[in-house]
Chains A and B, each alone.
Chain A
Amino acid sequence: MARYFLRKLVVYALTFVVAVTIDWAIPHLMPGNPVNTLMGRIQIQDPKVAHQVYEHYMRAFNLNLPLWKQYWYFWVSLFHGDLGTSILQFPTPVMSIITHAIPYTLALLVPAIALSWYAGNKFGALAARRKTLDNTLLPLGYTLTATPYMWLGILLVWVLAVIWHVFPVGYAYDPTAVRGFTWPFVSNLAYHWFLPFLSLFLVAFGGWAIGMRNMIIYELESDYAHYLGALGAPHRLIRKYAFRNAMLPQITGLALALGAILGGALVTEIVFSYPGLGYQIYRAITNEDYFVIQGIFLFIIIGVLLANFIVDIVYLIVDPRTRIGMEGGRS
């Protein structure tokens, strides 16, 4: 068991180094210069002053150094827990931007992933054995899973917010709300959270439901299910085994789908003006805010790796063959 975890940890550490290096390299290889964008905002009329200020910012961000030195300082700062200062939002520290944004993203992502996975599996399993549900859920599931997150988001805003006025058009809370531990504010947060959550939930739900429905049908047609049936085992018991076996690829799928769902959350936030990491990274990329791009992707990398690690552990718990295999037995 210890060897298994050690091997996993080494793989994760290597993935981390490579991913973080790419994370550092991509913004630096983008055309243009972020300080120019900042200068564009300051609009200094005199070229001498413009040059002075430009040089000042270049030094402040270490952008005047050769690339290898910038890369070295990046790792040094990282190990000191310093993600740098935003260029666009100078002098705001990147960590402060992330800590402001991360709760919003988690509030969308975690419930959307957890509930869509649970409900999708549940409904998929039900659909596999009920013709009416299958006839309705299957096309709906395919439609939902093929729908781009952003498009569904825009549709929901347009219909439910702009035309019917049932939900707000965007933002994390009403512009006139006063923040605090009060029921009006908490309910306001939930009210603004619902539509972005729903668009993420629906798309992911469709995918899980179809996956589970197909897996259950596959499992029910397998030899062990037929053998159990021949032995006279009740259908309920056969379905239970089929469900358990069908869950394994769904767990693997969850680990693989995390990146895609995260990408979906990023665009959903933009559609709903929801101030999470997605919105921040969109602004950072369009303005070449190197440090914010690096910082947010670092968090995403850590999040995805961590989630994969958890899935690995869960897999050990739910699949006895993995445990037995590691203990030297044969399944």
Chain B
Amino acid sequence: MKRIWRGAALGLALAALAATVLSTAASGGGKAAFAGYPRSQTLITSGTQWGNIAGTNPYTGNYATGMVGLVNETLLRFDPLKGKYIDWLAKSARWSGKKQYTIVVRPNVKWSNGKPFAGKDVAFNINLGRFTTAFWNNLYVNVKHLAVKGDKVVVTFKGTPNYIQWQNLMWNLPMINPTQASTIKSAQQLTTYSPKVPMGTGPYTVSAAGFDPTTRVVYVKNNKWWAAAAHVSPSPKPKYIIDLVNTSNTNSLNAVLAGVEDLNNNYLPGVNQLVDQHKVSTYYPTKPYMLSANTAWLEPNTTRAPLSDPVFRRALAMAMNVGQIVSQDYTHLVRPASPTGLLPTWNKYVDKAAVKKYGFKYNASAAAKLLKAHGYKLSGNYFENKNGSPINLDLSVPQGWSDWETARNMIVNSAAKAGIKITVKVKDYNTWASDRNTGNFDLVIDNNYQLSDNPWTYWNGIYHLPIIKGGTGQTFANFERYNNPTAWKLVQKLDHTSPANTKQIRSLNDKLQTILMQKLPMIPLWYNGVWAQFTSKYWTNWPSAKSSRRYVPAMWRGYLQMTGIDVITHLKQK
């Protein structure tokens, strides 16, 4: 009997192991050509992909990390630190008239199958906007005519173009191969398109054999990349790039410490200590360590009293001890936000006089005085509503986001010092997001809009109208439900202002930030970083503020077509 048990136990164990080996090995294509990707020629990154890799469709939000930038390139790129566009697949892409945009395709650009990239390919990609599931469909419906002549593409618009959004599209629209994408005939097919080996013009191609949706995507260097051949960019040194699927910040920290990853784009609490111990490097060698990626703000529900009162919101803003959050919660990995909330890369748009006049600083006693002066009365330690009812605001962050949870607790304490009672409400991410979208909250900490080429994306996020009542609520903007038609008209006007009209652009931006600081529909708190830590075990020459390599070190979606690709092309083998 004992032998039977022993045999059964061992047999089962071995069978299960054998099944795994067979299935995993088989998904790699059976016989391997070589034992492994040589580590010294491989760049390993992580920090973008959470959960399985959905596929290679660069038009959906869950494509394999690196698809846009490494495989499918854009017509332009944007350097946020210099505030300049970089001509990329386009030799030039400019407004050539009030209602006309002209793209001239760069010569000698080739697809990975060796065929030339031409004007008709650009037209094919822009024309995919006719499908309602294309993210640029709202811009495409305003296109009157699209003419292709050789390498020149001329787009004519029906009415006043959305200048800012169109320019933004030019560095965010990935070029997919028309022959390969000829199967896209409907809105549905645009969402399900996902070739195994996508054709692109970029410096890398996807390795189908290395691709494992649960674990990694593997890119192999395209030795005939046009940009290296034309000396537009250095040829990237890594022969392979492997981007690993993220499982948790703890696992990422372990992987960084064990030298598994070269570049990690997770938020790792206390990473400053690792920098100080020279175990990893960051863009800045000392505080703030990271570049700024987006603004974290306190989002008040402006439809609920007393948060509907701009004076109360101002007092609340003055009660925020952001300095404490920056130093104790984030150990200086982030920077405090300016009262405008505009990212440091948008400094040139900041109206300093307005900031001086309407800005706010942490001052709990001044906040209490302001409330008293405007008719709010203290009942015990806390203020009450003007009608005498108690004030007790709920504040939530997604459960488990430890840095935000600490910040939340600090906010509760600092608001209490000004006599504003805030109570923590614990919500998991989905409940938090659903409540935020439908307006079922008092206060949330949030950050929605990434670094971009124009503060318009930021204003659009704050002032967007109409506010959707019922159903799914607000799905992408104005979660604070701030109803200011004047501000919204200014945002629309800004989008419809020709880039040549710099005076009007300046004036509109000034007005929008003045409204923000006066009415505070959002309370800017701090700038979240472009979380990036790199190790030099295999690769050196990483970007840094102290070198000429001032590039944004992120593999995040939307960042490679900024200067993320320059990070890779400037790396040196150790």
* B117-125, B145-153, B222-230, B426-434 - the one binding chain A: B426-434
Which of B22, B55, B138 makes the CB contact (< 8 A) with A49? B138
B34/A186 in contact, CB under 8 A: no
A176/B194 in contact, CB under 8 A: no
A169/B255 in contact, CB under 8 A: yes
Q: Is B9 an interface residue (CB 8 A)?
A: yes
| CA of A288 to CA of B213, assembled, Å | 19
Which of A52, A186, A286 makes the CB contact (< 8 A) with B429? A286
Q: Is A74 an interface residue (CB 8 A)?
A: no
Number of residues in A with C-beta < 8 Å to the partner?
A: 87
A91/B191 in contact, CB under 8 A: yes
B476/A47 in contact, CB under 8 A: yes
A176/B42 in contact, CB under 8 A: yes
Q: Is A129 an interface residue (CB 8 A)?
A: no
Q: Is A26 an interface residue (CB 8 A)?
A: no
A53/B132 in contact, CB under 8 A: yes
Distance (Å) between the CB of B71 and the closest chain A CB? 19
Nearest 6 CB-CB pairs, A to B? Answer: A179-B28, A180-B32, A32-B430, A41-B61, A111-B13, A275-B214
Which of A41, A42, A176 makes the CB contact (< 8 A) with B36? A176
A184/B191 in contact, CB under 8 A: no
Give the residues in chain B near A295, CB-CB below 8 Å.
none
Which of A40, A89, A168, A181 makes the CB contact (< 8 A) with B433? A40
Q: Is A182 an interface residue (CB 8 A)?
A: yes
* B46-54, B297-305, B333-341, B520-528 - the one binding chain A: B46-54
B213/A89 in contact, CB under 8 A: yes
Give the residues in chain B near A86, CB-CB below 8 Å.
52, 54
Give the residues in chain B near A190, CB-CB below 8 Å.
17
Give the residues in chain B near A287, CB-CB below 8 Å.
51, 430
Closest to B216 in A: A175
Which of A47, A172, A280 makes the CB contact (< 8 A) with B24? A172
B29/A42 in contact, CB under 8 A: no
Distance (Å) between the CB of B150 and the closest chain A CB? 31
B247/A270 in contact, CB under 8 A: yes
B32/A52 in contact, CB under 8 A: no
Extra 19 A-B pairs, beta carbons < 8 Å, given A46-B137, A52-B132, A107-B19 = A31-B430, A43-B135, A45-B135, A45-B460, A45-B476, A46-B138, A49-B137, A54-B472, A89-B53, A91-B191, A106-B20, A107-B16, A114-B8, A154-B250, A169-B254, A170-B254, A178-B32, A179-B209, A270-B248
Q: Is A177 an interface residue (CB 8 A)?
A: yes
| CA of A113 to CA of B16, assembled, Å | 11
| CA of A68 to CA of B434, assembled, Å | 23
Q: Is A48 an interface residue (CB 8 A)?
A: yes
Task: How many A-B residue pairs have C-beta atoms within 8 angstroms? Tell me.
Answer: 270
Give the residues in chain B near A51, CB-CB below 8 Å.
475
Distance (Å) between the CB of B256 and the closest chain A CB? 10
* A2-10, A97-105, A225-233 - the one binding chain B: A97-105
The A-contacting residues of B in range 239-262, CB under 8 angstroms, are: 240, 242, 244-245, 247-248, 250-251, 254-255, 257-258, 260
Give the residues in chain B near A154, CB-CB below 8 Å.
250
The B-contacting residues of A in range 93-142, CB under 8 angstroms, are: 97, 99-101, 103-104, 106-107, 109-111, 113-115, 117-118, 121
| CA of A37 to CA of B6, assembled, Å | 48
Q: Is B180 an interface residue (CB 8 A)?
A: no
Give the residues in chain B near A113, CB-CB below 8 Å.
12
- By a beta-carbon cutoff of 8 Å, the part of chain B in contact with chain A is 1, 5-6, 8-10, 12-17, 19-39, 42, 44, 50-55, 60-62, 132-139, 165, 187-188, 191-192, 194, 209-210, 212-216, 240, 242, 244-245, 247-248, 250-251, 254-255, 257-258, 260, 428-431, 433-434, 437, 457, 460, 464, 468, 472, 475-477
| CA of A184 to CA of B21, assembled, Å | 12
Give the residues in chain B near A193, CB-CB below 8 Å.
17, 20
Which of A32, A49, A101 makes the CB contact (< 8 A) with B135? A49
Given A161-B258, A169-B258, A45 contacting B213 (CB threshold 8 A)? no
Give the residues in chain A near B433, CB-CB below 8 Å.
32, 36-37, 40
Which of B54, B244, B468 makes the CB contact (< 8 A) with A88? B54
Give the residues in chain B near A106, CB-CB below 8 Å.
16, 19-20
Give the residues in chain A near B135, CB-CB below 8 Å.
42-46, 49, 53
Q: Is A19 an interface residue (CB 8 A)?
A: no
**Of A47, A154, A174, A190, which is in contact with the most chain B CB atoms at under 10 Å from its CB?**
A47
Given A88-B51, A110-B15, A275-B215, A47 contacting B477 (CB threshold 8 A)? yes
Q: Is A189 an interface residue (CB 8 A)?
A: yes
A39/B476 in contact, CB under 8 A: yes
Give the residues in chain B near A161, CB-CB below 8 Å.
254, 258
